[in-house]
Amino acid sequence: MDMENQNRRHDGQRAVMGQAVMLKKIVRDTYRIVGIGIAFLLIFVVMNLLLNSVSAKQLENTMYLNQYRIGSKTLTAAVQSYAVTGNIEYYNNYMKELNEDKNRDIA
């Protein structure tokens, strides 16, 4: 009987030891998963910032391109109108765009 009680006590200790080991493993795995999640979150944030930077640069370039287009269009329209009509206002508009507004040069 004494031997039977000792065996039960050892089995109980093994169960407690098994639970402690399992708990440590669960905690370790949880830390690992949280660490991976944080790493993915940081990667996502960095990629988002990079993409926003590229997008802002692309928008800026598009605005400059549009400004250049408008300047060229204004110059072309003014010089064509002056050539066809001979009206000095068109020439003055051409010179104003060329010397004062300078949309093409600014772009």
pLDDT in tens, 58-100: 999 999 999 888 888 888 888 899 889 988 998 888 888 888 8
Which tops the pLDDT comparison, 9 or 23? 23
Contacts with 68 (C-beta within 8 Å, 6 or more apart), sequence order: 103, 104, 107
What pLDDT band is residue 10 in, cutting at 50, 70 and 90?
A: low
Q: Domain count of the chain?
A: 1
Phi, psi of 102 (to 5 degrees): 50, 45
For the cut 60, the answer to whether the pLDDT of residue 3 exceeds it is no
What is the C-alpha to C-alpha distance for residues 94 and 100, in angstroms, rounded to an integer? 10
**CA separation for the pair 75, 93 (Å, rounded):** 8
Q: What is the pLDDT of residue 26?
A: 95
**What's the pLDDT at 5?**
57
Containing structural domain, residue 7: 2-106
Closest Cα partner for 94 from 86, 35, 59? Answer: 86
pLDDT tens digits, one per residue of 11-53: 556 666 688 889 999 999 999 999 999 999 999 999 999 999 9
What are 101's two structure tokens? Answer: 């507004």
**In the block, which residue shows the tokens 């996502």?**
44
